[in-house]
Amino acid sequence: MNTWERTREVANWLNLSTISGLALAAASGCSISRGARGILYARNYTPALPKAGAFTVGNVVFFRPSLSGQVLHPQLLSHEETHCTQYALCLGLPFLPLYFAAAGYSWLRTADPASRNFFERAANLQAGGYRERPVRKLLPVLAAGLRRGLRGTPAGARPVDGPAA
């Protein structure tokens, strides 16, 4: 483990994000093992949320059963390890509201929570199993949402917008 990886590991212990990840792993019945570079693996995560094959809390990387084999996918592991670094740089759990704000922005721009999400892009979209989605114009999306809100029309009742040219 190099100095940066050790610093990240210590930071995520001190900012309580890793202990939060371990608590989630214990509560969800995951098997926990020590990986390389200070990362902990929580295999066989089965709760419904989040809807992802893998996700990270502090230095704990969670894997759904389909991705929990003995040999972990190196690109996905690299992607999730970048999220470990992002937790450290965000001083721990503040990563979560920042991540969800970025996911909301991405959804507004692409109808997808990852494609324009700063954190997912920094971790390499494709390595995380995401695809680049076309960007749509923001103003028509907001206007349609406002119209729906004023009329009380349920979301999804009619198309909002197409991709930007």
CB of 16 to Zn ion, least distance (A): 21
How big is the site for Zn ion, counted in residues (CB under 5 A)? Answer: 3
Report the alpha-carbon distance of residue 59 to residue 57 in Å, rounded. Answer: 6
CB atoms within 10 A of CB 71: 5
Residues 6+ apart with CB under 8 A from 87: 12, 15, 17, 56, 57, 58, 59, 93, 95
Check binding of 38 to Zn ion (CB under 5 A): no
Report the alpha-carbon distance of residue 82 to residue 78 in Å, rounded. Answer: 6
Check binding of 21 to Zn ion (CB under 5 A): no
Among 128, 131, 139, 157, binds Zn ion (CB under 5 A): 128
Q: Which residue is nearest to Zn ion (CB)?
A: 128
User: 37: phi > 0 → left, psi -120 to 50 → alpha, else beta; which?
Assistant: left
- Binding-residue pattern over the window 77 to 116 for Zn ion, x denoting contact by CB under 5 A: ----------------------------------------
CB of 164 to Zn ion, least distance (A): 24
Name the segment binding Zn ion (CB under 5 A); options: 4-12, 29-37, 42-50, 118-126.
Answer: 118-126
CB of 148 to Zn ion, least distance (A): 30
CB of 121 to Zn ion, least distance (A): 10
CB atoms within 10 A of CB 152: 6
Report the alpha-carbon distance of residue 55 to residue 100 in Å, rounded. Answer: 13
Q: Which residues bind Zn ion (CB under 5 A)?
A: 120, 123, 128
